[in-house]
Amino acid sequence: MKDTTQGTDLAIEFVGVVKRFGDAVAVDGIDLSIRRGELVTFLGPSGCGKTTSLRLIAGLDLPSAGHLRIAGRDVSRDPASERNVGMVFQSYALFPHVSVLDNVAYGPVIRGVKKAEARAKARGILDQIGLGGLHDRLPAELSGGQQQRVAVARAIAQQPDVILFDEPLSNVDAKLRRKVRSEIRALQQEFGLTAVYVTHDQEEALAVSDRIVVMDKGRIAQVGTPEDLYERPASAFIANFIGDANLIEGRVAAGRFTAAGLDVPLPGADGPASVSIRPERIALDATADGPARVAGATYLGSRMENAVALGGTELLVSRPISEPRLETGQTVALRIDTGGVTRLS
Amino acid sequence: MNAAVAIDRASVGWLGLLIGAVAALPWYAVGAFGESALVLGFADRPWLLPVVGLALALAGLAARTRDWRRHPALLPLVTAAQAIFLLQAFAIGLNGPALPLVGQIFPTAQAGQTGMGAGAFLAGVALLGLLSDGLAARGFCRGERFASACVIVIVALLALFVFFPILKLGAAAFTDENGALAFGPCIERVTVRNLWGLACFTSRLSCGVVINTIQLGLLSATLATALGLALALLVARTDFRFKRVLRALSILPIITPPFVVGVAIIVLFGRSGVLTQFGAELFDVRPGRWVYGLPGILMAQVLAFTPVTFLVLLGTLEAINPTLEEASKTLGARPLRTFSTVTWPLLRPGIAATFLLAFIESLADFGNPIVLGGGYDVLSTRIFFAVVGARYDLGNAATLAMILLALTLIAFRAQTRWLGRANYVTVTGKSDAGLVAPVPPMLKLVAVAVVLPFAAFVVAVYASVLLGGFVTDIGRLDMTPTFDHIRTAFSFELEAEGLRLYGSARDSMMTTLWVSALSAPLTMAIGILTAWLVARQDFAGRRAFEFGTMLSFAIPGTVVGISCVAAFNVPPVDMTGTMIILVISVVFRNMPVGMRAGIAALAQIDRSMEEASQTMGAGGAQTLGRVVLPPIRPAIFTALVYSFVTAMTAVSAVIFLVSARHNMATAHIMGRVENGEYALAIAYSAVLMIVMAICVALIQLVVGKRQLGRRTALTAAAQPAE
């Protein structure tokens, strides 16, 4: 029905999508394209519209305005049951009254595959995913990690156009998260799935994504690769939300940025400017007598965090644990990695 | 896509049904015209042709456009067809045109038309189906066709069986004896002194019926709430030894036929009552008729409503987070101070809501006032007497019903307001840590002092019922054991003369069982679907939908009964005197039973399980059938039996709708009470109660076991899996 010549490479397209709940605007005009085989993460603080956007893709909510295309087809008015989107829920949402095997076979059976055939298929996926011996268990008889893998297997079994993950790690033990997220990433690549992943954890987003969509108040704040977002944040919001950042107001003149006690090279137009400098891009030199003074130290095990007072502002500096400790009150010189200074819009 | 083809098939099904209904099926239920709308339209009933034309236009649309479900012309065509369908049905009545001008446009309409038949009925259903499909295609109910259809069907059912009768009744209030529109008689009926008189406060004369109703409601609600609170405090907050007995007490009103308590009170406290005689001998006073009137009704109502207020207040008490009380204690407050500054303020909104609930129940109560009223009239009995017997005066009944409805709605509005503000005591579903604070000892003492006489009273009432059916005449203290009454009521092997009477007792029992058996699954289905829509679906107008269903529950049974009489004894939907109307009225009276069960059961099912099912391609019906219902089967079964049992004791609405052919047990018992055949009434009631008690015991047995089974399964599952 739809023009597919341009759509072949695109799995999902948001075109001016708006979602209102009563008077509240949850999603406020989103334009976004997601390519086939890509893992895109929606990241943002709670209430930013990331989960609503995910539900719009699933069809669990319908947009109030705008269009949504999946695999080139306009699905803006199609209910969830008429799309082909797999979803892994935060709570896993496994059916408690049927076996693991029948949970995974549910999608194919609903779509008209014969029961025996659907079960054979489900068996294959469960084996592939490493849950071979658990076919006949009930979900309640599995550990949390196993339940989650069943939920993923179930979403894969319907051969979806897109697979969605709604904060899949929030019910996983903190220790296991790293393992589970790399499993998810591996499965997504193994099955060549287009995936959309929602999380509020920036580290998780950086770890799994091809691209990250940072959302704020229902709008897209920035889209880019993890490196783009971390190294070149477009705004103070992004700089603050992803990792830690020192935000400094100053002026740019003749290719140099100057602020109280700071003077670093920064190309760009002259005028007032604000910049972001990551804590690990600043080094402290205790041997030189500099303009800054150590205001505090926090031992974090893997690194040391120092608060440094500089001309009325306070900077956060992250230092390797191997460097010598600094005394509070000590004066130090700053060495700023010039590549790590990002001008914010 | 496959899915797209499937949708079209469903919509085409509705369209086929519509075409078939207008072209091939008999449009009218009775009469000489066993023909379809198409045939009749071209013969002498041209007003049927627009519906036929629109049906054909829809078929044309479907044939020409591939995605016709989304075609902008679909919804206008469907709504136009519905409007014309309804207009023709109501514009031409049994005896000719009901609206002006219709007679001039269609001269043949003077002959009138009878009620809807299969054709008209199915055409209406098909149009609703098309409407829900069309709306779903526009994103209604998130595009979910099944949910959309459920909304449309339930709205249509409520409109037809609840709100249309009320409107019709309202109209009846504004007509004179000849059925013409007139405000005079209505104003006259509203302003008569015997409605609003306040004489009882200043003299020995009786008050107006409205004043009586309010007075009874206030007293009964106050007493029932106080007793309910005492019981709830004892059960939730003390180590009272007989908690289980008190909890069991809450089942009693469910299995108590409406007149039983009244009759038992007469048997105990009437002029020749057991206790009256005893008291008269003891204190050497003349036995009086004091129980008839306010005191008797009050006793019966308090007995009937206290279990309800108890359960509601128990829920409120258990919902109070114990950590709040613990916090108060750690801050140094003594028990009495904790109770008065923390527990009591949290309870207050619940108490207010409970009071209003009991007040509404008292307004709606029909069984107790009619048995125990004596000269003390209330609105529900006055409505009944306005249409029963020789003085059939629908206008008067309608006016009184409107006053009763207004009172109820005011109380209902106040109740929803209170509950709306009382959000901070709602159940969160999280188990709160902490031990509940026992009530101060003094309070416990008061509660016990209040509860014990009440418990004794309950025991006396039910003992006399169970005993009364099996002794010769408990009213005259002849305690010789006998099965005569049972034999009289249920045997037809006696002499030929008595056969008809005895047969009728049996007939009413059979009808009651049939009506209950038919209505229980319907109640359950509609209740669960409504709960599902309200709790889980998201559609434009959901708030209004929820409010509409709540409102329909608040309408007193007497008003429902009289409104059904007003609405369904004439075409286009004439069905008074049938069993269908009994079933329908019972279904809509008991819908709260099904809905409450549905909401409680749905709370156990994680919403995302439904969503998971949907993302895997299951529609609403498949999701309900495969994911939502299987885990909550015990809850459904329980509610099914309860709606069966509740149906057996329905009285206030059905009393208006029973007929000679389809009499119900409760109506039959009322007849026996009116004739003073108390022993027979009690015997019949005892049999009903035994049947119902068996049903309830059955649930306990089946569901209780099953839950036990589930628990062991869960403990097994708790073993480490790896």
Interface test mutation site (partner A, options B5, B135, B605, B615, max chain A beta carbons within 10 A): B615
**pLDDT tens digit string along A268-310?**
888 999 999 999 999 988 887 778 899 999 999 889 999 999 8
Residue spans of the domains in chain B: they are 2-138, 194-482, 498-717
pLDDT at B639: 81
pLDDT, residue B151, reads 93
Which residues, at least 6 apart from B649, have a Cβ–Cβ distance to it below 8 Å?
A: B254, B255, B256, B257, B258, B666, B688, B692
- Among B568, B594, B566, which residue's Cα sits nearest to residue B580? B568
Q: Which of A79-88, B117-126, B318-327, B420-429 has the lowest mean pLDDT?
A: B420-429
Give CA–CA dist A180/B699, Å, rounded: 45
Nearest CA in chain B to A58: B615
Residue type, B228: G
Q: In which band, very low, low, confident or very high, does the pLDDT at A239 lie, cut at 50, 70 and 90?
A: very high
3-state class (DSSP) for residue A11: strand
Q: What is the dotted CATH code of the domain comprising B194-482?
A: 1.10.3720.10
pLDDT digits (tens, 9 = 90+) for B61-76: 888 887 788 888 889 9
* In contact, A134 and A128? CB cutoff 8 Å: no
List residues of B whose CB lies inside 8 A of any A CB.
1-4, 7, 70, 136-139, 142-145, 538, 606, 608-609, 611-620, 622, 626-627, 630-631, 714, 717, 719-722
Predicted local distance difference test score (pLDDT) of residue A43: 94
Helix, strand, or coil (residue B654) = helix
Residue A229 counted as domain residue:
yes
Q: Tell me: pLDDT of A146 over 80.
A: yes
Q: What are phi and psi of B320, to 5 degrees?
A: -75, 125
Structure tokens at B456: 């004794």
ipTM (interface predicted TM): 0.85
Q: Go through B483-509 and write b for each residue having 16 or more CB atoms within 10 A of its CB, e for each that does not.
A: ebbbebbebeeeeeeeeeebebbebbb
Give the number of other CB atoms < 10 A from CB of residue B184. 9
Q: How far is B615 from chain A (nearest CA, A)?
A: 5
Q: Which residues constitute the domain of residue A39? A: 1-76+194-243
**If you ran DSSP here, which 8-state letter would residue A14 be given?**
E
CATH of domain B498-717: 1.10.3720.10
What whole-number distance in Å separates Cα of residue A173 and Cα of residue B709? 31
Contacts of A80 in chain B (CB under 8 A): 142, 144, 611, 614-615
Take residue B172 and report the two structure tokens written for it: 């009846």
Q: How many domains does chain A have?
A: 2
Residue linked to tokens 């006949």:
A136
Q: Between chains, do B615 and A106 touch, taking CB under 8 Å as contact?
A: no
B449 Rama sector, left if φ>0, alpha if ψ -120 to 50, beta otherwise: alpha
Residue-averaged pLDDT of chain B? 80
The confidence score (pLDDT) of residue B710 equals 39
Q: Under 8 Å CB-to-CB from B385, ≥6 apart: which residues?
A: B391
Higher pLDDT, A275 or B94: A275
- In the prediction, which pLDDT does A14 show? 96
* Cβ count near A33 (within 10 Å): 16
- pLDDT tens digits, B136-154: 888 888 888 899 999 999 9
CA distance B549 to B532: 13
Q: Using CB atoms, which residue from A61, A112, A164 is nearest to B142?
A: A61
Lookup: tokens for A151: 């939920």
Tell me which residue of B511, B505, B669 sits closest to B578, measured CA to CA.
Answer: B511
Task: Establish if A82 belongs to a structural domain.
Answer: no
Q: A38-52, B584-598, B695-709: which has the minimum mean pLDDT?
A: B695-709
Picking from A248, A275, A262, the residue whose alpha carbon sits closest to that of residue A342 is A275
Please, what's the b/e burial string for B666-678 (b: 16 or more CB within 10 A of its CB; e: otherwise)?
bbbbbbbbeeebb
Q: Is the pLDDT of residue B617 over 50?
A: yes
Q: Quick one: average pLDDT of A160-165? A: 94
Integer Cα distance of A310 and B116 in angstroms: 88
CB contact (8 A) between residue B142 and residue A87: no
Q: What is the CATH number of the domain that holds A325?
A: 2.40.50.140
- The predicted pLDDT at position B335 comes to 80
Q: How far is B452 from chain A (nearest CA, A)?
A: 46
Residue B709 has pLDDT above 50, yes or no: no
Closest approach of A82 to chain B, Cα-based (Å): 6
Q: How far apart are CA B369 and CA B378, in angstroms?
A: 7
- Amino acid B508 reads S
| Average pLDDT rounded to a whole number, residues B559-578 | 82
> Do A72 and A199 fall within a single domain?
yes
Shared domain check, A277 and A228 = no
Contacts of A205 (CB under 8 A, 6+ apart): A41, A43, A197, A199, A212, A226, A242
Cβ distance B615 to A83 less than 8 Å, yes or no, reads: yes
For residue A41 the two structure tokens come to 């993460």
Say if residue A260 is in the same domain as residue A237: no
Cβ(B395)–Cβ(B566) below 8 Å: no
| Contact state of A141 with B721 under an 8 Å Cβ cutoff | yes
Nearest to residue A29, comparing CAs of A44, A40, A14, A42? A14
Cβ distance B616 to A106 less than 8 Å, yes or no, reads yes
pLDDT value, residue B437: 65
Is residue B499 predicted with pLDDT exceeding 50? no
Chain A positions in Cβ-Cβ contact with residue B143 (cut-off 8 Å): 59, 62, 77-79, 82
C-alpha A132/C-alpha B657 separation (Å) is 63
Classify residue A308: in a domain, yes or no.
yes
pLDDT at B364 over 60: yes
Distance between CA atoms of B155 and B541, rounded to whole angstroms? 11
Answer yes or no: is pLDDT of A30 > 90: yes
* Spatial distance between the Cα atoms of A281 and B97, rounded to a whole number of angstroms: 89
- In angstroms, the Cα distances linking B667 to A147, B38, B511, B591, B682 are 57, 44, 11, 21, 13
> Which residue in the block uniquely carries the two structure tokens 């923390």?
B342
The residue of chain A with its CA nearest to that of B139 is A77
* Contact by Cβ (8 Å): B205, B346: no
Residues A29 and A70 in one domain: yes
Distance from CA of A208 to the nearest CA of B (A): 23
Examine residue B572 and say whether the peptide bond preceding it is cis (omega within 30 degrees of 0): yes
The reply to whether B498-717 shares the fold of B194-482 is yes
- Judge whether residue B571 has pLDDT over 90: no
Which of these, A31, A60, A2, A30, lies nearest to A218 by C-alpha position?
Answer: A30
Q: What 3-state class would DSSP assign to B115?
A: coil
Q: Is residue A96 part of a domain?
A: no
CA distance B232 to B443: 12
Residues pairing with A319 in the sheet: A304
- The CATH number of residue A217's host domain is 3.40.50.300
∠ Cα B393 B301 B582 (to 5°): 50
- pLDDT at A26 exceeding the cut of 90: yes
Strands (E), chain A: 10-21, 24-35, 39-43, 65-70, 73-74, 85-88, 162-166, 195-199, 211-216, 219-224, 246-253, 256-259, 262-265, 271-277, 282-285, 292-299, 303-310, 313-320, 331-336, 341-344
